[in-house]
């Protein structure tokens, strides 16, 4: 569709709010609704036929590299971010590795449902979604169907339209110039170099941004939000096979390689590759690859890779290779 389009996806964050899982796995590779978070983000972008996808990697970046190379055949570039100084800093690192031109930025920890072709079709645009508490987000102020101001987590917000981590620029060199100006000034917001501040500089210099409200926006930043995202995405699309001796209550996503024996699964459960669930009741939970669940009831739980859980009623947040009895 847009073969001259380049995409930057920043995925360097440590994901401290999702520990203990992120001690061993980078946040974008945690499972939600049947596949890795990053797959939900990258898969819809394939139809744009991008010339290049630049991943800004950092913490456990080797796993990101392996995942992309194993699952996708587009032209991918990986740039290391050694200092976590904010989103603006991360994007500037990505810009240094590309020639000026059309640019789509998609954050690596939120999932957006929208028409991406429409998003990149008509001038600079910012993805937005109405939220209940705009003080928690960067927000956009709209007048006459154009964005006239950006604010990063304002104490007294003038808008309820949150910036959801989706940005399009017809000419990336303008963004790069303003990011470099911001970095050179030494200005930070809450201790970080914010992309929102660079966008605000662009508006003050006469740039015009089209507000673009997305259909769905799903946060995966902490246990509670990744479980709610799992529920929402499973509601939108899920399949349920039959397992002899077990009861499956949709919506669920169960890998064909998972083993389900004498259990009740669902609703709103993701079970990944080669996991084993035996004599258990599991609902509202995500079970990672190679985990083993036996003789217990799990609710509102995240279970890491190769973890083993046996016995009793539990509400757990268990990292990789952990054993609980």
d(CA 16, CA 7): 26
Question: Strand order in 292-294's β-sheet?
Answer: 259-261, 276-278, 292-294, 308-310, 323-324
Domains of the chain, start order:
6-223 (3.90.550.10), 240-324 (2.160.10.10)
pLDDT surpassing 50 at residue 146: yes
**pLDDT grade for 41, boundaries at 50, 70 and 90:** very high
Q: Are 318 and 298 in contact (CB under 8 A)?
A: no
Average pLDDT over residues 303-323: 66
pLDDT digits (tens, 9 = 90+) for 73-84: 889 999 988 887
**pLDDT grade for 13, boundaries at 50, 70 and 90:** confident
pLDDT surpassing 50 at residue 50: yes
* Number of helices followed by number of strands (H, E) in the chain: 7, 28
Higher pLDDT pick, 155 / 104: 104
What is the pTM for the complete model shown? 0.88
| Crossing angle between the packed helical segments 195-204 and 172-185, to the nearest 10 degrees | 110
Q: Are 53 and 69 in contact (CB under 8 A)?
A: no
pLDDT surpassing 60 at residue 104: yes
Supply 42's token pair: 């990258």
Q: Are 175 and 93 in contact (CB under 8 A)?
A: no
pLDDT surpassing 50 at residue 1: no
Predicted local confidence at residue 325, as pLDDT: 45
Q: Are 246 and 265 in contact (CB under 8 A)?
A: yes
Average pLDDT over residues 198-215: 90
Average pLDDT over residues 165-188: 91
Across the chain, mean pLDDT equals 87
DSSP string, 141-207: EEETTEEEEEEES-SS-S--EEEEEEEEES-HHHHHHHHHHHHHHT--BTTB--HHHHHHHHHHTT-
Among the residue ranges 14-28, 155-169, 199-213, the one predicted with the least confidence is 14-28
Predicted local confidence at residue 102, as pLDDT: 94
pLDDT digits (tens, 9 = 90+) for 221-275: 788 888 999 999 998 766 667 888 999 999 999 999 999 999 999 899 999 999 9
**pLDDT grade for 320, boundaries at 50, 70 and 90:** very low
């Amino acid at each position: 569709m847009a073969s001259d389009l380049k995409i930057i996806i920043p995925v360097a964050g440590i994901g401290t709010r999702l520990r203990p899982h992120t001690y061993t796995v980078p946040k974008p590779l945690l499972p939600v609704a049947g596949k890795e978070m990053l797959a939900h983000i990258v898969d819809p972008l394939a139809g744009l036929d991008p010339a290049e996808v630049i991943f800004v990697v950092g913490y456990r970046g080797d796993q990101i590299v392996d995942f992309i190379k194993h699952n996708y055949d587009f032209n991918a570039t990986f740039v290391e971010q050694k200092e976590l100084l904010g989103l603006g800093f991360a994007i500037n690192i990505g810009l240094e590795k590309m020639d000026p031109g059309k640019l789509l930025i998609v954050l690596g920890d939120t999932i957006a449902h929208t028409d991406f072709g429409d998003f990149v079709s008509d001038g600079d645009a910012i993805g937005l979604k109405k939220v209940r508490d705009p003080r928690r987000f960067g927000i956009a102020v709209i007048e006459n169907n154009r964005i006239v101001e950006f604010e990063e987590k304002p104490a007294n917000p003038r808008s309820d339209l949150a910036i959801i981590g989706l940005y399009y620029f017809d000419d990336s060199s303008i963004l790069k110039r303003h990011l470099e100006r911001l970095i050179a000034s030494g200005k930070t917001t809450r201790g970080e170099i914010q992309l929102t501040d660079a966008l605000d500089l662009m508006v003050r210099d006469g740039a015009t941004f089209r507000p673009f409200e997305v259909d769905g926006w799903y946060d995966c930043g902490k246990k509670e939000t990744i479980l709610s995202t799992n529920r929402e995405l499973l509601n939108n699309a899920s399949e349920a096979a039959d397992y002899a001796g077990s009861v499956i209550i949709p919506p669920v996503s169960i890998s064909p390689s998972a083993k389900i024996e004498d259990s009740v699964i669902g609703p709103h459960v993701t079970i990944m590759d080669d996991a084993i669930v035996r004599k258990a009741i599991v609902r509202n939970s995500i079970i990672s690859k190679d985990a083993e669940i036996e003789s217990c009831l799990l609710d509102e739980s995240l279970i890491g890779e190769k973890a083993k859980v046996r016995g009793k009623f539990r509400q757990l947040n268990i990292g990789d290779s952990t054993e609980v009895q």
